[in-house]
Amino acid sequence: MKAGPAHVQASASRPPLEHEVDACLAALPVVVRNLGETRTQIEAAVLEVCESFQGIATRAQRSVEEARNILGDGSQAGGGLEATLDAMRTTFDRLLVRMGESVERAREAGQRMQQVTAAVGKIETVLAEVEDIALSTRLLTINAKIQASHAGVHGRGFVVIAEAISELSGKSDAIVGQVRENLAGVSEAVGGAGTVLTQLGDSNGAAVQESQGELHGALDLVARVHGETQSGLERATRTGDELAHEIHRAVTAMQFQDRVSQRIEHLLTALQGMTAGLGEQRAGQPVAPRDHLAALQQSYTMAEEHTGAAAGCADDVVLF
Amino acid sequence: MVAFALQQAGFEVLEADNGEAALKGLVGQKVNLVISDVNMPVMDGLTFVKKLRTDPAFKFVPVLMLTTEAGEAKKAEGKAAGATGWIVKPFDVPKLLEVVGKVVR
């Protein structure tokens, strides 16, 4: 065959096949090493990302749990804030009832004191009557003595009786005096206590009413804030659930690393086979030609590596 | 990633990098389920399951293979080795948890 100048020129400029093979043999191990390092780096990066996701999910879950424990949804022992508020309300109501009872008792004591004062007044009135009677008796005694002196001898017995009556009248006066003294002590002790106690009862009663109103107002405010916080907690829980869902999706997506590792592993095996085959040929060893493509295809383990996605691809979950 | 998903769902998880480490780690342990990959260094998953089944303590513990391997021949090998189920990656987390729940029950 007559070779034209263009063909001769092309043959002379092309490197011999041996040089090309040598160049490939030198480069292939480097390619294999680089691929291996790439696989390692991808695995490390994916692991790090997954650990971050785990940290995010754990922290989000912990925050929601802590808030739930503080606020209390009734499921924990002790019940949390909600149960505490209810207990406070009950305790305050009992306290206010007891205070109300104390106020009532103070009012009753005041009224009793006033009754005592009224009774003392009545006794004073009775004492005054007794004193009048005593005075009348003394006057009567004097008259009796005068009449007895006019009766002469016959009046002596009458004088004795008059003197006895006069003596009794004197004792009556003394008793009245003692009673009046004792009454003065009682009046002093009771004093204005009755009025004061009644006034105290009235003012305490008003204070109790006011305190009751203020306490319930404060508890209502706390309950309102608690309600708003519960709503916030519910929103945070929903956000946490959404976050968990997103993390699940990310975890599913991260599994690309497995498939990449597998593919790279198969490529590495094929490249190592090609390197060995070329090396043997280059060394002049009598080796039968290898079907590297067939070997590569046989190494496939994943559904997506086989030609035709449906080939060998059954259900992705099988329980034997 | 599997450990992460299971721990989030409240399961206690023991981890190992390969079949040999897993066999050592299981000594003296009581587990409700074993999940294993097929392609692992040192000792692959199918060898691991075969050896596991020789231990009376783990003869009846469910073993799920979680792997990129999808071929029917490989699945048959897994079943013959003693695996309870075969899950092809990528796995959907809720689906994995559903299967785990079924198997553990």
What's the pLDDT tens digit per position in A145-183? Answer: 898 888 888 888 888 888 888 888 888 889 989 998 988
Q: Do A47 and A94 fall into the same domain?
A: no
Interface test with A, best of B39, B93, B99 (most A CBs within 10 A): B93
Q: Is A6 part of any domain?
A: no
Domain ranges across chain B:
2-11+32-104
* CATH classification number, B2-11+32-104, choose in 3.90.209.20, 1.25.40.10, 3.40.50.2300, 3.40.190.80: 3.40.50.2300
Q: Angle at CA B37, nearest 5°, toward B101 and B71?
A: 100
Q: Does any domain span residue A246?
A: no
Strand, coil or helix: A2: coil
For the segment B70-88, what is each residue's pLDDT rounded down to a tens digit? Answer: 888 889 999 999 999 999 8
The range of the structural domain enclosing residue A55 comes to: 15-71+255-300
A303/B90 Cβ within 8 A: no
Tokens describing residue B26:
């299981």
**Residue B43's pLDDT is what?**
92
Q: Say yes or no: A103 and A191 in one domain.
A: yes
More confident residue, B62 or A45: B62
- β-strand partners of A319: B85
Domain total of chain A: 2
Domain boundary among A203, A221, A239: A221
Question: Which residue blocks in chain B are alpha helix, DSSP H?
Answer: 2-8, 19-26, 45-53, 72-81, 93-104
The predicted pLDDT at position A5 comes to 43
Q: Please, which pLDDT band fits residue A83 given cuts at 50, 70 and 90?
A: confident
ipTM higher than the 0.85 cut:
no
Question: Confidence class of residue A8 from pLDDT cuts 50, 70 and 90?
Answer: very low
Confirm whether A210 is domain-assigned.
Answer: yes
Q: In terms of DSSP H, where are the helices of chain A?
A: 5-13, 17-71, 80-151, 156-190, 193-254, 256-282, 292-298
CB contact under 8 A, A320 and B79: yes
Q: Are residues A179 and A288 in the same domain?
A: no
CA torsion angle for B50, B54, B57, B59 (degrees, to 10)? 60
Which residues lie below 8 Å from residue A36, measured CB to CB, with a gap of 6+?
A: A264, A268
- Cβ–Cβ below 8 Å for B8 and A302: no
Tell me if A145 sits within 8 A of A159, measured CB to CB.
yes
- In this complex, which of B70, B90, B102 lies closest to A255 when CB atoms are compared? B90
Nearest to A301 among B68, B72, B99 (CB): B68
A49 and A135 together in one domain? no
User: Looking at beta carbons, which residues of chain B come within 8 Å of A253?
Assistant: 90
Percentage of residues in chain A having pLDDT higher than 70: 87
Tell me: do A215 and A273 sit in the same domain: no
Angle at B56 between CA B51 and CA B61, to 5 degrees: 80
Q: With a threshold of 0.90, does the pTM exceed it?
A: no
State how far the Cα of A172 lies from the Cα of A318, in Å rounded to an integer: 120
- Whether residues A264 and A213 share a domain: the answer is no
In B47-76, the residues whose Cβ lies within 8 Å of chain A are 68-72, 74-75
Is A196 part of any domain? yes
For residues A208 and A113, membership in a common domain is answered with yes
Are residues A109 and A216 part of one domain? yes
In this structure, the answer to whether residues A31 and A128 fall within a common structural domain is no
Tell me the three state secondary structure of residue A25.
Answer: helix
Sheet with A317-319: list strands edge to edge: A317-319, B85-88, B63-67, B34-36
Question: How would DSSP label each residue in A188-210?
Answer: HHHTTHHHHHHHHHHHHHHHHHH
Phi first, then psi: what are they for A73, rounded to 5°?
Answer: -115, 15
A172: CATH: 1.10.287.950
State phi, psi for A184 to the nearest 5 degrees: -60, -40
Q: What is the pLDDT of residues B19-58, one digit of tens each?
A: 999 999 999 999 999 999 998 888 999 999 999 999 999 9
